Amino acid sequence: MSAAYERAWQESIADPQAFWGDAAQAIDWTAQPSAAYAEAAGWFPGGTLNTAANCLDRHVAAGRGDAAALIYDSPVTDTVRRFTYAELLEESGRVAAMLAALGVAKGDRVIIYMPMIPETVFAMLACARLGAVHSVVFGGFAPLELAKRIDDATPRVLLTASCGIEGSRTVAYKPMVDEALTLARHQVERVVLFQRDRLRADLQAPRDLDWESLRAATAADPVPAPVPVASADPLYILYTSGTTGTPKGVVRENGGHAVALAWSMRNIYAIDAGDVFWAASDVGWVVGHSYIVYAPLLVGATTVLFEGKPVGTPDPGTFWRVIARHGVKTFFTAPTAIRAIRKEDPDARLLKNIGTGRCEAIFLAGERADPDTIGWLEDKSGLPVIDHWWQTELGWPAIASCFALGDLRRKRGSAGFPVPGYAFAVLDEAGHPVPAGHSGAVVIKAPLAPGAFRTLWNNPAGYAKNFATFAGYYETGDAGFIDEEGFVHIMGRTDDIINVAGHRLSTGQMEQIVAAVEGVAECAVIGADDAIKGMVPIAFVVPRAGFDDDSGLAARVVAAVRAELGPVAALRTAYVARGLPKTRSGKILRNLLRRIVNGEAWTTPPTIDDPAVPAQLQSLVAEHHAV
């Protein structure tokens, strides 16, 4: 056991005021907080700051303007661009001037629907500079999903690009933005579009503005000064799937976010000023917000912005090439990416040829990392591979091996130990702690650490539900156990949210879409194990009378989910069945469906309505795999 880790965790639980008050000294405050925490006001009450100034201005003022801040590496466009802290300040400042010219001010919302290009980072930091609230929407989302977020956030301006590049595919963004705005009740004042060489987009006057033209028109405007905001003021809204199909807007506050992320970089990832950190994620996800944009810049490190895929851009050696080329010290990716690389290069020949340069550790998160994948990567890379766990709601790791605190204890299949600031428990349905090694609901003692959400946008009741089941605890929605050595094991969701390659998706929402397809009488969507993506959704549909011989029903189901949720939903298989396994009361036995699809042993439940159905479904699945 690491004495430094144990001391930090004990101090954070025994005296959070002192622990986080000390951590807050790493941030520049325009007004010092009166305390670390107050029940009504949250973390760092009375404090004011500007997150963009903490990411950029203070490093330039300290004489580090020439230090590398951002490296853009895009194998899909064969482009590498580097920005110093002074250049990143200038570029984000120019976008802030553009937004200010459009009337964007403190508290206004801005939707950012953009690909993995430097301008996206400029836009996020520009919003933070103005005290505006950004909401980044992943470019792979379908127009209806974008429309829902527009209606909820009610943004003043939407920033987009002409296209994104997904591997070998070029995805036009402007038609999706136009469709979303026809579906949305709320209308933005302006759409500002960055034209990419790969694909140009047509603009609709007077709503649409060209990014470069607006930049030129505001070139003489001064860079706006950083706007001080209260610690509890929102920095961004990030939407995550809800079980009802309505997205949940997780609100991230400025003060706790800055303190927690700065602490995590130095104490979990061993990254400080001058080090190179790479999180191979997308800025549309919480990992991209926390560990591509904000955390590395808060501590004066160099962050890598990667536009590509782990395979196919151009080969499974892409990750190792980027790590070696830029001197990455700590690398963060998803198990899905490693599985994809392993599938293409099982003997790791490219990894052996290219090497990992200066890299000291690899962190995995996004979905559960299976022991086999961890073992393969550790064996082939020769580096410690550290699984860790957190959620969009939390904003930064809650379970990990704190590498920088000398804690390299690892157990394959476990995400590690509670990070300082987090006290975990595993409870049964009655709210009682279960014995070590026994499974139950994984919960975290309230209040949550700084940086975690304290509300949902426009939905305080939805936020309160997270604390309603177990008094005094946040319900993570995951099941798991804590073993005799204190390792925390996260085994899977306790609700119908499944994790597909790092995307949290609602099977309940998919069922609503499938049920609306013409010819579907009833349906179920479950998450099945997948060697590459961790989980994939599988649909079972029972046709209505008259559609029994309709060979196109499965294809229409797949197309309907793709049309509404976009390709990120990853629904590829729909089984057309004569019936679903149900209890006599009509409840669909989804766990039984999962076992059948996963090829696991199953028994006929005593409560089943029709005992013949499971065997029929097993034959159906077997026939599909045989084909």
Q: Return the closest-CA partner of residue 304 out of 315, 373, 287, 544.
A: 287
C-alpha–C-alpha distance, residues 576 and 543, integer Å:
7
Q: What is the pLDDT of residue 492?
A: 66
Q: What is the pLDDT of residue 365?
A: 92
Structure tokens at 211: 């990014």
Whether 273 and 299 have beta carbons less than 8 Å apart is answered as yes
Neighbours of 205 (CB within 10 A): 6
Using 50 as the pLDDT threshold, list the residues of the chain that sit under it: 585
C-alpha–C-alpha distance, residues 213 and 573, integer Å:
46
Whether 536 and 530 have beta carbons less than 8 Å apart is answered as yes
Cis peptide before 543 (omega within 30 of 0): no
Q: Which CATH class for the 497-626 domain?
A: alpha beta
Whether 1 and 403 have beta carbons less than 8 Å apart is answered as no
- Greatest CA separation for the chain: 76
C-alpha–C-alpha distance, residues 258 and 235, integer Å:
10
CA neighbours closer than 13 Å in the CB half-sphere of residue 620: 21
Q: What is the pLDDT of residue 344?
A: 87
> What 3-state DSSP class applies to 217?
helix
Q: What is the pLDDT of residue 606?
A: 56
C-alpha–C-alpha distance, residues 153 and 174, integer Å:
20
Q: What is the pLDDT of residue 585?
A: 45
Q: What is the pLDDT of residue 623?
A: 83
Whether 360 and 330 have beta carbons less than 8 Å apart is answered as yes
Residue 49 φ/ψ, nearest 5 degrees: -165, 175
Angstrom distances, CA of residue 473 to CA of 160, 198, 223, 447: 39, 49, 44, 8
The secondary structure of 20-77, three-state, reads HHHHHHHCCCCECCCCCEECCCEECCCCEECHHHHHHHHHHHHHHCCCEEEEEEECCC
Length of the chain: 627
In the chain, CATH 3.40.50.12780 sits at: 3-308+388-465
Structure tokens at 231: 């610690």
Domain 3-308+388-465 has CATH 3.40.50.620: no
Whether 146 and 113 have beta carbons less than 8 Å apart is answered as yes
In the chain, CATH 3.30.300.30 sits at: 497-626
Beta-carbon contacts of residue 546 (< 8 Å; ≥ 6 apart): 519
CA neighbours closer than 13 Å in the CB half-sphere of residue 529: 14
